[in-house]
Every structure is written in structure tokens, then in C-alpha cells.
């Protein structure tokens, strides 16, 4: 499905870029001389090449952005550092990436203010362990 989507975008990009290049040529050939502006052929070729290069870059950039898989949810939190907001005995609250999360300690009680690292998830709770001294 994604391949078909990319092919469709490529066809639309080629058609729209061709129309834009034709508009640049028509502007150079018909409208600029009417206004008394005369550009050499080399200038228009340079403008058209630059516009074509920009169009190719834009297509590649947007294709990469659209194909990038975003990782969301609790599994993306594994490895994230944080600190204990309310005592974990073994459940409580931790602050990870500026948000409060329900968490369970994997190694017993952890006091408020201690640094922790997310080691997993269980249901909708994070599983954390001590990370070392507090560095907040």
C-alpha cells in the first residue's frame, strides 16, 4: 500500500513540477519581455535547474518523513530516565519526560526524589528500577 502511495505522489510531483517549469518558461518567454525585462537563456536555464533540484529534494524529504514510523506509547519509554514523585512501595508515581506516570518498582521500595530508569511496562504502568544518585 505504501509503495502505491509513493508512486502516486511521484507521478503528481512530476506533473506539478513540469507545469511549474512550463509556467517559468512562459513567464520568461512572454511576460517579462512585455515588461521590458530581458533575461539571457542561461539565467532561465539556471532558474529551471534550481527549481527542479528543489522539487526533487522536497519529494525525497517528504517521502522520508511520511515513511518514518513513529514509536509511541509505553514501549517507547523503556530506557527513559526520571525520578520518583511519590514513594514506590512498590507502586507509586514517577516523573518521566515531564509527565507523571503510575509505576511499579522492580526492586522493592524506592523513596521520593530518587532517580529511576524505565525497564519495562506492565499493563498501563511503567516498571522502573533505581538509576543512582539524584541529579535533578
Please indicate, yes or no, whether residues 60 and 91 belong to a single structural domain of this protein.
no
Residues paired with residue 86 on neighbouring β-strands, in sequence order: 93
Q: Looking at residue 4, what is its pLDDT? A: 85
Residues 88 and 38: beta-carbon distance below 8 Å: no
Last residue of some domain: 32, 67, 102? 67
pLDDT, mean of each 10-residue run, the chain (136 residues) = 83 96 96 94 96 96 85 76 93 92 92 93 90 59
Q: Looking at residue 5, what is its pLDDT? A: 85
Number of structural domains the chain divides into: 2
Note down the domain range covering 96: 74-132
Distance (Å, whole) CA 83 – CA 103: 11
The sign of the dihedral angle between the CA atoms of 87, 91, 93, 99 is: positive
Please indicate, yes or no, whether residues 48 and 88 belong to a single structural domain of this protein.
no
Please indicate, yes or no, whether residues 19 and 49 belong to a single structural domain of this protein.
yes
Amino acid at each position: 500500500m505504501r509503495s502505491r502511495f509513493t508512486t502516486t505522489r511521484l507521478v503528481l510531483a512530476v506533473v506539478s513540477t513540469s507545469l511549474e517549469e512550463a509556467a517559468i518558461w512562459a513567464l520568461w518567454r512572454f511576460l517579462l519581455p512585455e515588461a521590458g525585462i530581458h533575461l539571457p537563456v542561461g539565467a532561465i536555464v539556471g532558474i529551471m535547474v534550481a527549481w527542479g533540484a528543489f522539487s526533487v529534494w522536497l519529494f525525497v524529504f517528504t517521502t522520508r518523513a511520511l515513511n518514518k514510523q513513529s514509536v509511541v506509547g509505553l514501549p517507547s519509554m523503556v530506557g527513559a530516565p526520571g525520578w520518583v514523585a511519590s514513594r514506590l512501595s512498590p507502586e507509586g508515581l514517577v516523573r518521566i519526560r515531564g509527565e507523571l506516570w503510575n509505576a511499579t518498582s522492580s526492586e522493592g521500595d524506592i523513596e521520593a526524589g530518587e532517580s529511576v530508569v524505565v525497564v519495562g511496562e506492565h499493563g498501563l504502568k511503567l516498571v522502573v528500577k533505581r538509576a543512582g544518585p539524584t541529579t535533578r
